[in-house]
């Protein structure tokens, strides 16, 4: 059965102009022009009034927030692919569908991972800081040496869309690819990607030069890279994370970096965004980015278009194309 023709839609953050303009044409929509993340009370007020709610990664949609949902709230159309900030069981208990925006940010996120894979071993951020500080004394045969990436072995944890896009790029740079994923990829896909499945994560960690985290954050992947697993990495290994901060025990990672137990890290995500620990900020052997994975004009517009398509198709009485099911990861 079709839902309201212009469903009451509340969006928690400022979206690209094109997306907001189209939403205004189609829905009875409230935006957040100030773009300040909503407080818990504001989120509760919004879910109490909306038929469709559009959150982002900065909104913690807990069972407590959803307890305030009015019976009219039927669709949570997330702007973003990761839905770890949404209590899916609570949404289901309230009969609320959840959708996300898969596919359209794969290439941008993989580009950012690849940028970190190059930047950290080749010391791009350190070099840039040196130049800007006016401290560069000129070229020298042993100046600012880093590690070559060509010929090295990359271990990818999580071989979904983004992991596979990282593998394709890495092969272009002459990097060997191992991967750990709960499910092995079909042989034909493995062959195309030239990627080698490692059933045992710990064994893979002991064999690689660069580790890239590309799995979703779920209760199963909380602190997947903990102190013990960090201890399996060699001292020349680089750790890259553009997935979710909570997959790595950030304190243990900082210890390993401080002690020189690993060579460096490239991080786009953190355990308590936007807070980053002082110890991590003080390190030279890290590149720290502000959650930029999908931050392209093209990607964010495409994410908005997906949100709109999900709402439209749901409003017409159909199952939205990007419905997230429990056990999604």
Using the minimum distance from each CB to ligand 8YV, give the nearer residue, 240 or 256. 240
Q: How far is CA 319 from CA 136, 208, 262, 313, in A?
A: 59, 43, 47, 7
Question: Tokens 């609320």 belong to which residue?
Answer: 96
Q: Specify the DSSP class assigned to residue 233.
A: S
Using the minimum distance from each CB to ligand 8YV, give the nearer residue, 81 or 239. 81
Catalytic residue among 180, 244, 250, 300: 244
Residues ≥6 apart with Cβ < 8 Å to 110: 162, 165, 166, 168, 169
Distance CA 219, CA 55 (A): 21
- Nearest distance from residue 57's CB to ligand 8YV, in Å? 3
Residue whose C-beta lies closest to ligand 8YV: 80
- Nearest distance from residue 126's CB to ligand 8YV, in Å? 26
The yes-or-no answer on residue 244 being catalytic is yes
- Nearest distance from residue 79's CB to ligand 8YV, in Å? 5
103: alpha, beta or left? (left if phi > 0; alpha if psi -120 to 50): left
Distance CA 290, CA 275 (A): 10
Distance CA 8, CA 72 (A): 9
- Nearest distance from residue 161's CB to ligand 8YV, in Å? 11
Catalytic residue among 30, 190, 251, 273: 273
Using the minimum distance from each CB to ligand 8YV, give the nearer residue, 112 or 315. 112
Distance CA 19, CA 62 (A): 26
Residues ≥6 apart with Cβ < 8 Å to 169: 110, 111, 113, 114
Catalytic residue among 13, 169, 198, 291: 291
List 29's β-bridge partners, or say none. Answer: 9
Using the minimum distance from each CB to ligand 8YV, give the nearer residue, 82 or 163. 82
- Nearest distance from residue 224's CB to ligand 8YV, in Å? 17
Using the minimum distance from each CB to ligand 8YV, give the nearer residue, 7 or 299. 299
Q: Specify the DSSP class assigned to residue 50.
A: -
- Nearest distance from residue 15's CB to ligand 8YV, in Å? 10
Which residues of this protein are in contact with ligand 8YV, per CB under 6 A?
Answer: 56-57, 79-82, 105, 293-294
Using the minimum distance from each CB to ligand 8YV, give the nearer residue, 11 or 97. 11
Q: Specify the DSSP class assigned to residue 323.
A: B
Enumerate the active-site residues: 244, 273, 291
């Amino acid at each position: 059965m079709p839902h309201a023709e212009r469903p009451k839609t509340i969006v928690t953050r400022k979206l690209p102009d094109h997306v907001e303009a189209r939403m205004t044409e189609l829905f009875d929509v409230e935006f957040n022009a100030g773009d300040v993340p909503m407080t818990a009370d504001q989120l509760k007020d919004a879910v109490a009034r909306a038929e469709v709610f559009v959150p982002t990664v900065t909104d913690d949609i807990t069972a407590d927030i959803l307890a305030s949902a009015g019976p009219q709230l039927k669709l949570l159309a997330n702007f973003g692919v990761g839905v770890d900030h949404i209590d899916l069981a609570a949404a289901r208990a309230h009969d609320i569908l959840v959708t996300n925006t898969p596919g359209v940010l794969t290439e941008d996120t993989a580009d950012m991972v690849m940028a970190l894979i190059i930047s950290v071993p080749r010391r791009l951020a350190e070099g840039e800081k040196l130049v800007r500080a006016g401290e560069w004394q000129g070229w020298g045969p042993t100046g600012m040496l880093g590690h070559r990436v060509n010929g090295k072995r990359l271990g990818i944890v999580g071989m979904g869309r983004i992991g596979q896009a990282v593998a394709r790029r890495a092969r272009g740079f002459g990097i060997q690819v191992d991967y750990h994923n709960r499910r092995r990829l079909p042989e034909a896909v493995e062959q195309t990607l030239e990627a080698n499945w490692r059933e045992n994560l710990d064994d893979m960690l002991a064999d690689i030069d660069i580790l890239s985290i590309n799995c979703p954050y779920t209760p199963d992947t909380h602190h997947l890279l903990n102190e013990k697993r960090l201890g399996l990495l060699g001292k020349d290994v680089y750790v890259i994370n553009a997935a979710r901060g909570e997959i790595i025990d950030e304190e243990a990672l900082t210890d390993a970096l401080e002690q020189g137990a690993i060579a460096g890290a490239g991080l786009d995500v953190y355990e308590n965004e936007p807070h980053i620990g002082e110890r991590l900020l003080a390190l030279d052997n890290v590149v720290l980015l502000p959650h930029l994975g999908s931050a392209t004009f093209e990607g964010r517009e495409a994410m908005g278009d997906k949100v709109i398509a999900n709402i439209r198709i749901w409003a017409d009485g159909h199952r939205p194309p990007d419905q997230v099911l429990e056990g999604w990861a």
